[in-house]
A and B are shown apart, each in its own frame.
Chain A
Amino acid sequence: MEEKQVDYKKIGFRCGIEIHQRLDTKKLFCPCKSTQSTEPTLEIVRNLRPSAGELGAIDPAALFEFLKAKTFIYKLSPNESCEVEADEAPPHAMNKEALSIGLEVCKMLESDIPNEIHVMRKTVIDGSNTSGFQRTSVIGINGLLKTSKGNVGILSICLEEESARIEERTEGKVIYRLNGLGIPLVEIATDSTIQSPEHAKEVAFSLGMLLRSTKVQRGIGTIRQDINVSIANGARIEIKGFQQLENVPKVVENEVIRQLTLLEVKDILKKKGVKEKDFLTKENVTGIFRKTESDFIKKAFNEGSVIHSALLPRFEGLLKKSCGDRTLGKELSSYAGVYGLGIIHTDEDLDKYKLYQEFQELRKILKAKEDDLILIIVGKNPNIDKALSLVIERAKQMLLGVPEETRIADGEGSKYTRPLPGSERMYPETDIPSIRITKELIDSIKISKSLIEIQEEISKEIPEQLAEQIVKSPTLLKYYQETKKNFDPVMVANTLTNTLKMLKRDNHDTDKINKDHLIGLFTLIEKKKISKEIIPQALIDMIEGKSLGYIESRYKIIDDSQLRSLVKQAIRQTPGIKESLLMGVLMKDLRGTISGERLMKIIREEMN
């Protein structure tokens, strides 16, 4: 693959990010908790129907048939989910805490907050919302985020409901866990002025840090990013499912390369004069492969598979082209992947598959010219038919350039998941009256300092690397800020990060350590009652339930004269004791309070 240095401005790069963050409050429209743990004990079975709202927007008959064949099962635990999530009762008023966190985010991003918030119903028919719609509301528009490359506009900030999570998908049936439904989400959508893949990472990072400065949930699945990418003459592609921010630049870069390649392929095909009618398919060419030596195909035949084939006119060589982290061939194959299948084609090393002969035969049957490409799909009905038609449709779109679609991040690249959803049907949520946002309410909302600012601030007090660790955890940050005023900040930070981490690694239950423990301990050190070196051992003792009084007396700092009298006493009690033995006996009692070196020095002085 050739490494290209892309001039993003020149190619008309446009990129925007949507971030969804779960808030750490009760649910948005009912008083259920947003944290989940209970095992489900009940199941509700539901169907969705095309509601009057959808008719006209989508082919109603198709939608109807689609939904008719689907049953949704919701697993729930009654102490976790209530009638609201089960769509058995109307929503309660919007959670005030969630609203105020949302408005805080609006203020941080300098957005305009409407005088009235109107909750809307966004039609969702995949069953992830029991009601058939998601409740969502715009709470801020026209904001901005400061970045190293200038301001990025914030189109909108929404406060909305999380949907239910799929637990299992089988033929005609989808099983959901109901507990996630209704958790408040803040959605921030930037405009498309992000300038480069690296910049996209910076924006995602900054928005994440900004959100984490407020009362939000932490951990896997509590934040997710969708990135929209397009280039001039390309198309808007939505990439979902980023597991790690580190991958953002590479995935975006590879998407740009993919679009560039598709545009190049389009030009080549145009020059060659390829037309849609030149594409051919021939179903069930299974016979040709009957005597194959290919293990893969032999195995597939045993499972009852058949083989379909197609001819892509004058495509020879094109599928070898790079789409970033994968070839165009692999990219095309991922469309068959939607149905769990793949393609084999003549731009690949067919000897590797032991299929050279069979493809020669196919060429004859399809009356292929030298520069035509032949591909096959191996699989069972009815999926193989659907896969073939999707692959051919996609190949034909190469005459047009880049089709709009939704992709999912996949390693350093991405793969096709579904066409871009049409504009969502949206209508007012009539069960919730509009919410008046008064000036008093907006004024009463205090902005939390951004974590980036906080990190910069505390880096002046403690080493950068400690500061970074501290801001990552809201609990640590809170401890740090409450204790640093009275104690040595470096000692505090070190204890909160390195020491606690070490104890945890050694399987000590550090969750048992509370603020009072730490403050008590630091006070003893500050008053020079015990030494700093004792901290790890003292914490272990505290985890085991020892009191502060115990720690103080057990590890009391002993001055030289006290130590000397202890040594004298020991020598008196056991005259003639060996130096090393005496050391051992005394150290057993004094461990942690003095250094061995100091004890040895005094023992030697006294013995002599």
Chain B
Amino acid sequence: MDYSKTILDLLKKSSVKIGDKILMTKSEKEYSGIVMPNTGSSECIVLKLDSGYNIGIEIDEKTHIKKLSEEAHVEGKMVSRKLQRIEKLKFDPKKPTIAILNAGGTIASRIDYRTGGVTPVFTSEELVSMVPELAEIANIRCKMVFQMWSEDMEPEHWQILAKEIAEEIEEGCEGIIITHGTDYLHYTAAILAFMVQSLPIPVLIVGSQRSSDRGSSDGAMNLICASKFIASSDFSGVAICMHANSSDNSCYILPACKTRKMHTSRRDAFRPINSKPIAIVDYKSEKIEFFLDYQKKDYKRKLILETRYDKKIALIKSYPGFRAEQLDWYEKNCNGIIFEGSGMAGNLPINILDDHTKHHKDFLEKLKKITEKTAVYMTSQCIFGRLNMNVYTTGRDLQAAGCQPAYMIPEVALVKLGWILGQTKDPKQIKEMMEKDFAGEIIERSELDEFPPNDL
């Protein structure tokens, strides 16, 4: 946020720019410091004292400011840190080549004085210069694809990334790392697994939960573990690489279509859902242990690129009080709907039991109407566990109304449906494709140790 007009006028009147050192006199009190960009409320001038601390001083009509010295470089110093540019790295034929595609996020971020938050700004080269270990593991080929918070991503960005992956493979590399914001990281992982199939090499999506402007950032270790995993395993396909626990000692390689961000802030926020991790990479010893079977690298394998996507889809969560008329807009505007229903069957409020539930009749009728021309699939808001729509009458009624089970994490079902609708609108084909396992997304067999225990 900018300073208020009063402050801007006062600064202008005194020919003071942000970054200048000033002496401020206000009711016989004096404050001297460097005028900083506004990081507080707009009514206070933020001064950096000699001690390095910032304070905000409100101005009134009698406030006087005098320029002591110009230090125009201050803002630049604070905003763009001088990092050593990595020089053109020497190609080492003994090492594998890893292409790093920078798609933004906290992993490549720093302070923004405008919003007071952290914004992605580093170029990929800068990122590598911050993690010199990468060059010891592989020949690094960086490319800036786009800089953004993952929550701002649109399906078009997935399509760009998918094409970038294809290009990098064309150019030749042993693996690809995509640096990414963490909020929607698991959506990207899932859709890429559909858009870029039959991958000859690994594509790892990496984020960080602590921004890289702090010493405790987890980003570097995630990148290093991803690089080590690419360099020393024969895995291929899309996966996520993030901290395995709160300590800086190992990273999980997580399945693209069975992983979800399950914590707002922890380093190990990404957890396998209805699955084990693919593998664990030990940071210090570089030891890799696999828990799942996987498709091996094969540089000769031809990539299948299918990036078409229909954005006219929705993910709708049911809850007590949910009403049929809320679906009006979706009915008119969507080609596909994924419901996050309740419990094991993915139930929706369709049973009439008393006066309060009379309107549930409308819900079932609405659903029948929608399914006539829209693909409607059910998932469970329990997240963990497999859907079973046959156990209760409600589930059977829903199926009869045209709502089909999708044995997937809700978000995965969503992007899969968008991807299918991008290719076909034929109900039969849609159903066939939704039921087919393209990228390990289907929850088939649930093992007992896939649900996290609740004892510490």
Contact = CB atoms under 8 A, between A and B. Distances in A.
Contacts of A45: 247-249
Instruction: With a 10 A CB-CB cut-off, give which of B39, B49, B55, B214 has the most chain A CB atoms.
Output: B55
Instruction: With a 10 A CB-CB cut-off, give which of B56, B83, B214 has the most chain A CB atoms.
Output: B214
Interface in B28-86: 29, 31, 39-41, 44, 46, 49, 51-58, 78, 81-84
A55 B41 contact: no
A181 B41 CA distance: 29
A203 B443 CA distance: 71
Instruction: With a 10 A CB-CB cut-off, give which of A49, A123, A142, A433 has the most chain B CB atoms.
Output: A49
B265 A430 contact: no
B100 to A, nearest CB: 17
B320 interface: no
B433 to A, nearest CB: 40
Contact of A428 (B51, B116, B210): B116
B264 interface: yes
A78 B456 contact: yes
A373 interface: no
B81 A131 contact: no
Interface residues of B, number: 48
A516 interface: no
Interface in A5-39: none
Given A60-B84, A87-B210, A116-B56, A125 B215 contact: yes
Contacts of A54: 215
Contacts of B118: 430
Contacts of B217: 49, 51
Interface string A231-263: 000000000000000000000000000000000
Contacts of A116: 40-41, 44, 46, 55-58
A133 B214 CA distance: 8
A114 B57 contact: yes
A48 interface: yes
Contacts of A120: 52-54
A51 B56 contact: no
A88 to B, nearest CB: 5
A56 B81 contact: yes
Contacts of A43: 247
A67 B214 CA distance: 13
A434 interface: yes
B156 interface: no
Interface in B214-250: 214-217, 220-221, 246-249
A575 interface: no
B49 A115 contact: no
B55 to A, nearest CB: 4
A141 interface: yes
A125 B54 CA distance: 21
B266 interface: yes
A52 B83 contact: yes
Contacts of B111: 427-428, 430
B51 to A, nearest CB: 7
Contact of B83 (A42, A55, A425, A427): A55
A436 interface: yes
Interface of B: 29, 31, 39-41, 44, 46, 49, 51-58, 78, 81-84, 110-113, 116-118, 130, 132, 210, 212-217, 220-221, 246-249, 264-267, 456
